[in-house]
């Protein structure tokens, strides 16, 4: 088999091949290491990744193509935001492992971030030492650790009411300036087009809620979620305090009755972790937010996610 390949920008005709690659490589890794399957709905569901990354402003993808067969052997998405660049889901076909494809894809995106003079962010599994080592060797530094917590939401939703729950409501486009200001204050980052997309919800899979401050003059938090056969996750979002985080998390979970959504909870927050445990959440994995360049200084609580990649 040829060991040569080329890197190029992802094209519309790559959509099915990339979806198949994401489905196959991710499922193989989880089967080998955890004995579980991912993307059981098949590659038809993982077409969502191509669609979302090509709908959001500033997002795109690259592929590695085998020079002999023309097969798409690797893929990765990137998202250029006002304050930083995010590296999205990266996949390499199992038959092409060890041929330097992941390194080449990563170098391409690092070059893009450097040309833009912006830091490069990602959220990677701490349990995948191959990928952790890849990023670590390329200069990424971890700045926050998250525990993936899986919830089994009752068919009738959680029958709880928290002190901040009355201040939680569905977000509208009029909240966008306040959301941007909140995230800038808590993380130093900006991604207004992401939140606009989630609120407008053209795919019919997103939900955005906000928590008003006690005086009603600002926001104490924002939290999104996605519900699709390929992914059912809570996030992205950020909050000023654990009370707002708990109320927003509860509100988003209750939009998923009978489902098993996953939220990435910051390991440093004892209050939020204990609240999740009170809902019988189970830890399933550990993820690490990493940065190449100046890392954000986080205040409050943050909820990263994988579609689109946040941080």
Three-state secondary-structure class, residue 3: coil
Same domain, 156 and 114: no
- 309 domain-assigned: no
Per DSSP (E only), the strands in the chain are 5-9, 59-66, 72-80, 85-92, 120-125, 141-150, 168-170, 206-212, 219-228, 231-239, 262-266, 282-292, 301-303
Same domain, 11 and 95: yes
Three-state secondary-structure class, residue 112: helix
**Cα(185)–Cα(221) distance, integer angstroms:** 11
**Cα(189)–Cα(176) distance, integer angstroms:** 14
Average pLDDT over residues 267-277: 97
Name the band, by pLDDT with cuts 50, 70 and 90, for residue 66: very high
Domain final residue, candidates 66, 97, 118: 118
Can you give the residue range of the structural domain that contains 84? Answer: 5-118
Same domain, 226 and 80: no
Same domain, 250 and 111: no
Has residue 239 got a pLDDT over 60?
Answer: yes
- 310 domain-assigned: no
* Count of the separate structural domains present in the chain: 2
Has residue 3 got a pLDDT over 80?
Answer: no
Query: Exposed, middle or buried: residue 61 (CB in 10 Å: 0-12, 13-18, 19+)?
Result: buried
pLDDT, tens digit, 9 for 90 and up, residues 67-100? 999 999 999 999 999 999 999 999 999 999 999 9
Mean residue pLDDT of the chain comes to 96
- 13 domain-assigned: yes
Same domain, 299 and 175: yes
- 142 domain-assigned: no
- 128 domain-assigned: no
Same domain, 112 and 172: no
Has residue 188 got a pLDDT over 80?
Answer: yes
Has residue 200 got a pLDDT over 80?
Answer: yes
Same domain, 298 and 166: yes
Same domain, 95 and 182: no
Same domain, 83 and 190: no
Structure tokens at 85: 């660049």
- 274 domain-assigned: yes
Same domain, 114 and 152: no
Degrees (nearest 5) of the Cα angle 197, 199, 202? 55
Instruction: Encode burial over 276-309: b for 16+ CB neighbours within 10 A, e otherwise.
Output: beebebeeebebbbbbbbebbebebbbbbbbbbb
**CATH number reported for the structural domain that contains residue 162 in this entry:** 3.40.630.30
With tokens 């200069």, the residue in question is: 139
Can you give the pLDDT at residue 1? 43
Three-state secondary-structure class, residue 64: strand
Same domain, 155 and 214: yes
- 131 domain-assigned: no
Domain final residue, candidates 101, 118, 135: 118
- 124 domain-assigned: no
Same domain, 18 and 163: no
């Amino acid at each position: 088999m040829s060991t040569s390949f080329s890197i190029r920008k992802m094209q519309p005709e790559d959509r099915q091949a990339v979806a198949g690659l994401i489905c196959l490589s991710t499922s193989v890794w989880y089967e080998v290491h955890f004995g579980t399957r991912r993307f059981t709905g098949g590659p038809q569901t993982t077409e969502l990744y191509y669609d979302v990354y090509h709908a959001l402003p500033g997002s795109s993808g690259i592929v590695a193509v085998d020079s002999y067969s023309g097969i798409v052997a690797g893929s990765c998405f990137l998202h250029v935001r006002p304050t930083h660049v995010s590296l999205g889901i990266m996949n390499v076909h199992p038959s092409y492992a060890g041929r330097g494809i992941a390194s080449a894809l990563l170098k391409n995106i690092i070059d893009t971030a450097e040309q833009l003079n912006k830091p490069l962010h990602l959220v990677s599994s701490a349990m995948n030492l191959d990928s952790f080592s890849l990023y670590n060797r390329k200069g990424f530094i971890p700045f926050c650790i998250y525990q993936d917590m899986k919830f089994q939401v009752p068919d009738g939703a959680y029958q709880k009411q928290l002190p901040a729950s009355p201040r939680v409501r569905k977000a509208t486009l009029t909240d966008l300036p306040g959301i941007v200001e909140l995230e800038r204050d808590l993380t130093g980052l900006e991604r207004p087009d992401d939140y606009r997309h989630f609120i407008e919800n053209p795919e019919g899979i997103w939900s955005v809620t906000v928590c008003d401050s006690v005086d009603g003059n600002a926001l104490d938090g924002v939290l999104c979620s996605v519900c699709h056969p390929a992914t059912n996750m809570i996030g992205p979002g950020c909050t000023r305090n654990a009370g707002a985080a708990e109320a927003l998390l509860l509100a988003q979970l209750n939009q998923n009755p009978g489902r098993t959504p996953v939220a990435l909870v910051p390991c440093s927050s004892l209050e939020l972790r204990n609240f999740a445990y009170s809902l019988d959440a189970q830890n399933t994995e550990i993820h690490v937010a990493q940065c190449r360049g100046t890392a954000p200084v986080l205040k409050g609580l943050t909820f990263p996610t994988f579609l689109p990649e946040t941080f």
